[in-house]
Structure 1
Amino acid sequence: MESGEDYSLFETRKDKGRHIRRIYAISLFVAICFIWAYRLSHIPAYGKWAWLGLFAAELWSGFYWLFGQALRWNMLFRKTFINRLSERYENSLPRVDMFVFTADPIIEPPMMVINTVLSVMAYDYPAEKLSVYLSDDAGSDITFYALLEASTFAKHWVPFCKRFKVEPRSPAAYFNTLVSTNSHDHNHAKDLDAIKKLYVDMKRRIEDAVKLGGVPSEARSKHNGFSQWDSYYSRHDHDTILQILLHERNPHNSKDVDGFVLPTLVYMAREKRPQYHHNYKAGAINSLVELHGADGYGGPLFIGTCCFHRRDALCGKKFNCQYKNEWNDENEKEVVKANLHELEVESKALASCSYEENTLWGKEIGAIYGCLVEDVITGLWIHSQGWKSIYYNPPRKAFFGIAPTNLLHTLVQQKRWGEGDFQILFTEYSPTWYGEGKINLGLLMGYWRFNYSATTCLPILYYSFIPSLYLLKAIPLWFIPFAYVILGESSSTLIEGLISGGTIKGWWNDLRMWLYIRTSAYLFALIDIVWKFFGRSYSSFAVTTKIVEDDDVSQRYKNEVMEFGTSSPFFTVLATLALLHLFCLLATIKELVLCKVALTGEKMALQVLLCGFLVLINFPIYQGLFLRKDKGRLPSSHTIKSTTLALSACIFFKIWN
């Protein structure tokens, strides 16, 4: 227990299998050291440079593996006692601000966004102490219209959730889980039918507006908030748009149908001008903060959403031993003494482009600017101020998100993350020097694992094609410790996945994506970084779609068929590598069967197994190239281009001496 045996809010325990995990990790490291020693002591006369290249790849992969082991060395697990929270603090719970971000009403549909907002508004928390902010980076009047509709629907949905203890509290998710509307409770069935009808009507109005590409004039005339779009030029050039839709200071429009106060609800689109950099999501985070705003080593990294921050930590306050939890909200009460109109006017100034000029915002206050992954760099900065974070994964998932639904969008997203993480190393906030002496070495290694992720494309790519190509000349490159390291690491990730509730199929798909990301997304991330050093590239923030575009794509997605369907350099790299492995394996089998050439002992056998494994894991690509006829297949141009490149590489290597 942390403190107070009977009334602790949570307990922390260490991983029960940590000793076995550590012994196993040490044995793998010993095997890795054997591999390094073997490479240096058995350099062949023929193929020396390929051999040394493998040593370099294995050397870097070994160090990167060590970074990952730091995150597994001192694992902690937590259990909370939520019922004790109200017992201890009763009515003195702190105010909580919930931030929801959206950037494009097309690829992040308004219905999806407001379902998130409604689920947050229905939290089991005192409504008068809960504020929900929607930051719309597109400044879309359709998204505002959707939130306006949601504010009306919330007056029915929030009391319905509390009355019947509804789970999950996202309307779309809840209605999808219902088998039928039959209920032994007549009142529940009646209320359920009524709330479902309200939701369907709201959904129809919002989706009609999306299809029309604008808000109906009748709806515009009913709310003066739409007048803020009169000066709207484009999503990249507009004034601050801010509207407080629900607030306790407006008693006529802040209560639900049962007469209870609803959480505060605010829409905001920060000002954007072509001459000002808007700093991506970090700028949106800071605008909201200004408005109101790896456990075992001191806490996990901040990598996106699904997290809670103390306002003091985000606002630049350093942690010290004398810090106390002060949940007194007298200061907040002072803020809201002004009427809502005055509060909106004052708040708009905080979200303007010029407000942060020559201030510490983005440097020592709020989310840190200057990086594609503002979350990771902000988390590092917070850790360096002495704050600690904890990781908690409750049995009932606290957050649900929607990931990209096709391969291209996944790779685009991973490219941005890989590029942004590596970019941190060349800023003043690099963990190597900024975190030195401020955070634990184990946590530093955890940051390095993310920072150097893009560089793993080089050893993985080298290991992907050099052993396969050397099969064409029957030259062995492996020995037994290689098999132990690869099988050992693969089995440990499988066991971790199964313990976490995953499946063997899920593990296999994760392994496939691990390979695809490192041989394509990270490769182009690294290329962009190099080009940027020469001033030839500009980092951009790519928003990935979270929806399935049409019925055919949706059906393939449900059937777990990989979606290609378009041309991309990512696919050219993946298809070329996949075909190279296939050609090398077929050529080796031909030599073994037709020419009756024997394998050179166990070393060549392991090499053939690696090539066979790579062929097996690339089966969806072969389907997309040759077997599928649907629109989700790889374009014919990719088939021709990749086949030509792979065959050329094999022929050139075969005849090259």
Structure 2
Amino acid sequence: MLQIMSAGDEEEDDDDESRMPLLVYVSREKRRASPHHFKAGALNALLRVSSLVSNAPFVLVLDCDMSCNSRASALEAMCFHLDRRGAPDNDLAFVQFPQMFHNLSRSDIYTNDLRYIFATRWFGLDGLRGPLLSGTGFYARRDALYGAPPPATQGGADLSSGELARSFGHSDQLLASVRSVLQSSTPPSSSSSSSAESPRLVPRDATLVASCAYEKGTGWGHQVGFMYQSVVEDYFTGYRRFFARGWTSAYCYPARPSFLGTMPTNLNDVLVQNKRWMSGMLAVVLSRHCPLACRDLLAVSVPQAMAVAYFGFLALSAFPVLCYATLPQLCFLRGVPLFPDARWSAAAFASSLLQHLVEVSVANRRLAVRAWWNEQRFWMLNAVTGQLFGCVSALQDLLGAAALDFDLTAKAGDGSLYHRGVFDFTGCSTLLLPATTLCVLNAAALVGGTWNMMTRGGGARSELLPQLFLLSYVAALSYPLLEGMFLRQDPARVPRRITALSVAFAAVLLALFG
């Protein structure tokens, strides 16, 4: 269904700000015989419909849980897109804004502010041909989304009718709008379409290009538009559609948030969201589309290919964290020292914590001990839950055992516990089971190992001190899990089934290896 809900108030010519802009509602059909391709499919449908309604040269993409907080965002983005001084070759594909949330609490126990991305790494990537596409809050060029190369490169898009029809489908109105965009070597002005003459009427081919069956036999999702080969269409589209073709990006971080969204306030939803990100990116880098094997991207910039691959392989950090969550505990319980030199071990561990504290404090422009502690805690929790299950899902997809799914998360909760700084375990499933099991294992090893260490000689005590500190630190980080399993009695506690399974699995590990 497609409906023009407002075509503007043409009578109020004196006050432009009071006029309602063109507002078009699109409801995309979904049929079993035609894959809808989740968010990427919806974006491509909107891209086709908008080409018939306005054919605007730039496209703003926002998630359904985000809204515009500043009408100056378009002006700020155009300062990058239309500036000929900073980019003489006019190779800027999109301008990325940070994700910010209106329901973020002061404590932010789930680190949903995504500091390590939008306040640190995206600034670094801005000096390396631009940050990655973040899925929401960006202004992109329409011709770049259509697969056109940057104007500075040799050659251009094939504008023959047959080639355009094979890529964009058989709609005369759509092909005319595409041709008008691709014929320009500079950011195009808004091209006229059939709807420009009669703005209150739905274009003739609008419902056709929005239908599920329209994409069959075309290049949508492959040669043109947002890419379909991954559940994280932003990551894949960013480097395959833009960076590998020679386009660049820019990062705009205004003083006032341009866009505000709603973040999940339930731990299970946060972990499910991270699992989808990790599994989707890992599936890309483990496939034939790996950035380190992309010749076009390597020809443009080897450092940028390494930066893109870094985020794809990020999920694999679950395995070293898993080793640190099991081996020191079991060895400490048996009195086996893993770190013989206590001084060097303490110096290495302290330097790592100090580096992270400095990074967080610089991003927050103050000494942010609470933010540092929350990031340390959630980094450990997410590694053995979202990242670990993300690796499992990506491996299943690679082996053909199970396809990756676009896991949806609820963001409409009241968030009362979250704003009080209390973990909300409502709805937590087996996704939390590794973390709770390792939490119980660490606590049992800490108590049993300390008792054994106190009954040994002085030499053994000094050798086991680094492990004692590590287990104590992990126990402090995992206190919310222990509290949710054994101390809390409210409905948002860790489900009793998960608690029972965690104790049983930890007992098996202790019996086998302890």
**Same fold per superposition (TM over 0.5):** yes
Aligned partners of 2:331 and 2:337 also within 8 Å: yes
Instruction: Report the equivalent of 2:70.
Output: none
Identity of aligned residues (%): 28
CA deviations over 1:370-421 (Å, ceiling 9, x no partner) = 2110000000011111111111212222222221111111111111111100
For 2:448 and 2:473, locate their aligned partners in 1 and report how far apart those are by CA, in whole Å: 16
For 1:426 and 1:555, locate their aligned partners in 2 and report how far apart those are by CA, in whole Å: 40
Is structure 2 residue 491 aligned with structure 1 residue 631? yes
Structure-to-structure mapping, 1:27-176, within 5 angstroms = none
CA deviations over 1:420-451 (Å, ceiling 9, x no partner) = 00111244432122254333222112111211
CA deviations over 1:128-165 (Å, ceiling 9, x no partner) = xxxxxxxxxxxxxxxxxxxxxxxxxxxxxxxxxxxxxx
Please, which of 462, 472, 483 is the counterpart of residue 612 of structure 1? 472
For 1:311 and 1:558, locate their aligned partners in 2 and report how far apart those are by CA, in whole Å: 40
For 1:402 and 1:642, locate their aligned partners in 2 and report how far apart those are by CA, in whole Å: 32
Structure 2 gaps, min length 5: 52-124, 155-183
The alpha carbon displacement at 1:629 in A equals: 1.3
Instruction: Report the equivalent of 1:302.
Output: 133
Instruction: Report the equivalent of 1:543.
Output: 408
The alpha carbon displacement at 1:263 in A equals: 1.9
The alpha carbon displacement at 1:644 in A equals: 2.0
The alpha carbon displacement at 1:617 in A equals: 0.2
Is structure 2 residue 335 aligned with structure 1 residue 474? yes
For 1:308 and 1:272, locate their aligned partners in 2 and report how far apart those are by CA, in whole Å: 27
Aligned partners of 1:320 and 1:386 also within 8 Å: no
For 1:599 and 1:393, locate their aligned partners in 2 and report how far apart those are by CA, in whole Å: 55
Aligned partners of 1:471 and 1:584 also within 8 Å: yes
Instruction: Report the equivalent of 2:273.
Output: 413
Is structure 2 residue 206 aligned with structure 1 residue 446? no
RMSD: 2.5
Distance 1:259 1:499, change over 3 A: closer
Aligned pairs, how many?
A: 406
For 1:573 and 1:598, locate their aligned partners in 2 and report how far apart those are by CA, in whole Å: 35
For 1:410 and 1:451, locate their aligned partners in 2 and report how far apart those are by CA, in whole Å: 19
For 2:353 and 2:185, locate their aligned partners in 1 and report how far apart those are by CA, in whole Å: 44
Aligned partners of 1:270 and 1:351 also within 8 Å: yes
Aligned partners of 1:599 and 1:605 also within 8 Å: no
The residue type equivalent to 1:307 in the other structure is F
Aligned partners of 2:276 and 2:406 also within 8 Å: yes
For 2:14 and 2:389, locate their aligned partners in 1 and report how far apart those are by CA, in whole Å: 51
Computing the radius of gyration over CA atoms, which structure comes out larger, 1 or 2?
Answer: 1
Distance 1:383 1:322, change over 3 A: closer
Distance 1:328 1:369, change over 3 A: closer
Structure-to-structure mapping, 1:458-497, within 5 angstroms = 458-478=319-339, 479=341, 480-497=343-360
Please, which of 373, 376, 398 is the counterpart of residue 232 of structure 2? 373
Aligned partners of 1:247 and 1:263 also within 8 Å: yes
For 2:464 and 2:303, locate their aligned partners in 1 and report how far apart those are by CA, in whole Å: 38
Please, which of 507, 517, 520 is the counterpart of residue 385 of structure 2? 520
For 1:273 and 1:611, locate their aligned partners in 2 and report how far apart those are by CA, in whole Å: 53
Instruction: Report the equivalent of 1:505.
Output: 370
Greater relative CO (CA pairs within 8 A, separation 6+): 2
Please, which of 560, 563, 573 is the counterpart of residue 424 of structure 2? 563
Structure 1 counterpart SS, 2:250:
coil
Q: What is the TM-score normalised by the length of structure 1?
A: 0.58
The alpha carbon displacement at 1:482 in A equals: 4.2
The alpha carbon displacement at 1:287 in A equals: 1.3
CA deviations over 1:563-604 (Å, ceiling 9, x no partner) = 1134511222111100111111101221233x2443536542
Distance 1:437 1:651, change over 3 A: closer
For 1:289 and 1:524, locate their aligned partners in 2 and report how far apart those are by CA, in whole Å: 33
The residue type equivalent to 1:266 in the other structure is V
Structure 2 counterpart SS, 1:400:
strand
Distance 1:592 1:281, change over 3 A: same
Distance 1:489 1:279, change over 3 A: same
Instruction: Report the equivalent of 2:3.
Output: 243
For 2:380 and 2:279, locate their aligned partners in 1 and report how far apart those are by CA, in whole Å: 17
The alpha carbon displacement at 1:291 in A equals: 2.1
The alpha carbon displacement at 1:341 in A equals: 6.0
Instruction: Report the equivalent of 1:579.
Output: 440
Aligned partners of 1:583 and 1:647 also within 8 Å: no
Aligned partners of 1:419 and 1:529 also within 8 Å: yes
Aligned partners of 1:255 and 1:262 also within 8 Å: no
For 1:638 and 1:437, locate their aligned partners in 2 and report how far apart those are by CA, in whole Å: 46
For 1:369 and 1:409, locate their aligned partners in 2 and report how far apart those are by CA, in whole Å: 24
Structure 1 counterpart SS, 2:261:
coil
The alpha carbon displacement at 1:345 in A equals: 3.5
For 1:255 and 1:407, locate their aligned partners in 2 and report how far apart those are by CA, in whole Å: 50
Instruction: Report the equivalent of 1:346.
Output: 205
Aligned partners of 1:405 and 1:548 also within 8 Å: yes
The alpha carbon displacement at 1:280 in A equals: 0.9
Instruction: Report the equivalent of 2:513.
Output: 653
For 1:493 and 1:650, locate their aligned partners in 2 and report how far apart those are by CA, in whole Å: 33
Aligned partners of 2:335 and 2:452 also within 8 Å: no
For 1:368 and 1:438, locate their aligned partners in 2 and report how far apart those are by CA, in whole Å: 21
CA deviations over 1:277-305 (Å, ceiling 9, x no partner) = 11111111111222235122211111221
The residue type equivalent to 1:455 in the other structure is L
For 1:264 and 1:438, locate their aligned partners in 2 and report how far apart those are by CA, in whole Å: 42
The residue type equivalent to 1:650 in the other structure is L
Structure-to-structure mapping, 1:201-350, within 5 angstroms = 241-248=1-8, 251=10, 260-293=18-51, 294-321=125-152, 326-327=186-187, 329=189, 332-340=191-199, 342-350=201-209
For 2:194 and 2:261, locate their aligned partners in 1 and report how far apart those are by CA, in whole Å: 33
Distance 1:393 1:257, change over 3 A: closer
Aligned partners of 2:397 and 2:403 also within 8 Å: yes
Structure 2 counterpart SS, 1:355:
helix
Aligned partners of 1:247 and 1:262 also within 8 Å: yes
Distance 1:450 1:519, change over 3 A: same
Instruction: Report the equivalent of 1:592.
Output: 453
The alpha carbon displacement at 1:461 in A equals: 0.4
The alpha carbon displacement at 1:635 in A equals: 2.2
For 2:194 and 2:28, locate their aligned partners in 1 and report how far apart those are by CA, in whole Å: 21
For 2:347 and 2:424, locate their aligned partners in 1 and report how far apart those are by CA, in whole Å: 34
CA deviations over 1:94-116 (Å, ceiling 9, x no partner) = xxxxxxxxxxxxxxxxxxxxxxx
Q: What is the TM-score normalised by the length of structure 2?
A: 0.74
